[in-house]
Amino acid sequence: MKPTLAATALVGALATVATAGTVMIEPSTPVATTGGFEKARRPISNPTLFDLALPTTNVHPIYMHHSLPSRVDTTLGPLPMGGDVQIFALQFEIAFTERLSLVATKDGYVDLNPQAVGLWTEQSGFANIAAGLKYAFIYDPESSCAVSGTATYEFPTGNHDVYQGEGNGVLNLILSGVKLWDDFQLAGGAGVRLPFDGQQSTNSFVSLHASYEVVPWFIPLVEVNWHHVLSTGNGRPNYFSQALGLTPVVATFEGNDLLNFGAANASQNRDLVTAAIGFRSRITDSIDAGIAYEIPLTDEQSSIIDDRVTVDLVWTF
């Protein structure tokens, strides 16, 4: 599945004026259009992988309230879970040129609060850290179109109690693009997550975004994300604060954008598809805020998402 980006051109008009038997052709007033990337906006959902294709300098705080399914599928049958996960993160990007930037795409603090205490435990800790480079090999302000490639490395620095800190790290390779037609924007991203060992699963993703600026303070958007398990992990017992360490052994799905269990049986539910709706508000020329509500389109028991609310702010400077 390869997302495509459309391209269009704007056509001007000429007006004619007839005077005293002589026809004169005069240029009309140009149609007002917005060129460049002034109105480009960042996607909201799947924030650790789905980024704006434009290299910019920005700070991007994120809050997620992630509700867990009441039950999850395992090789032992459905097991109770419920509860929620709260995530506080701060991404940033530093542009060296209009085409090249340093990106920090994953970090933050995770607060895990399952309902089925006894099987699962309430824990909190830090997430892994991921950073790398973004390069726009197509950067065309005149047509408001950009396509970039991003490579990041996820360091296993996080806390095991919240399903982080395992393996020898992950290489994320991502292709993203954006195209604007005045107030309308399309964006897409696709990539693979390649672990440096056999403990974790190898995954791919495709994300799509469409938005329209009705007014600066109301820019509605819709997004779709597809996560796919390419190859499963080795499923050895791990993360012993949760389910006696058996999550990688019995889970029949993967953690996708935020987690990687290394689930040996994730081939039973390779795909997670989610849809998100929300809006952005442009507070100033350099600051905008967004909120999106996300739900799974695939079976919620075959993943760890019941629903998710993501709130963010992007300060570009």
Total domains present in the chain: 1
CATH number at 288 reads 2.40.160.40
Q: Is residue 288 part of a domain?
A: yes
Would you say residue 27 has pLDDT above 50?
A: no
Q: Residue 126: name the closest of 88, 166, 183, 94 by CA.
A: 88
Residues 52-79: tens digit of each pLDDT: 999 999 999 999 999 999 999 999 999 9
Q: CB atoms < 10 A from the CB of 274, how many?
A: 23
pTM of the predicted structure, to 2 decimals: 0.87
Question: How long is the chain?
Answer: 317
Would you say residue 121 has pLDDT above 90?
A: yes
Q: Is residue 8 part of a domain?
A: no
Q: Is residue 80 part of a domain?
A: yes
SS3 243: helix
Residues 241-260: tens digit of each pLDDT: 999 999 999 999 999 888 89
Residues 205-254: tens digit of each pLDDT: 999 999 999 999 999 999 999 999 999 999 999 999 999 999 999 999 99
Would you say residue 5 has pLDDT above 90?
A: no
Q: Is residue 213 part of a domain?
A: yes
Contact in structure between 5 and 53 (CB atoms under 8 Å): no
Q: Is residue 229 part of a domain?
A: yes
Domain that holds residue 180: 37-316
Q: Is residue 22 part of a domain?
A: no
Q: Is residue 127 part of a domain?
A: yes
Residues 39-57: tens digit of each pLDDT: 999 999 999 999 999 999 9
Percent of the chain with pLDDT over 70: 89
Q: Is residue 13 part of a domain?
A: no
Residues 268-303: tens digit of each pLDDT: 999 999 999 999 999 999 999 999 999 999 998 999
| Token pair recorded at residue 7 | 């391209």
Q: CB atoms < 10 A from the CB of 9, how many?
A: 6
| Token pair recorded at residue 228 | 């796919």
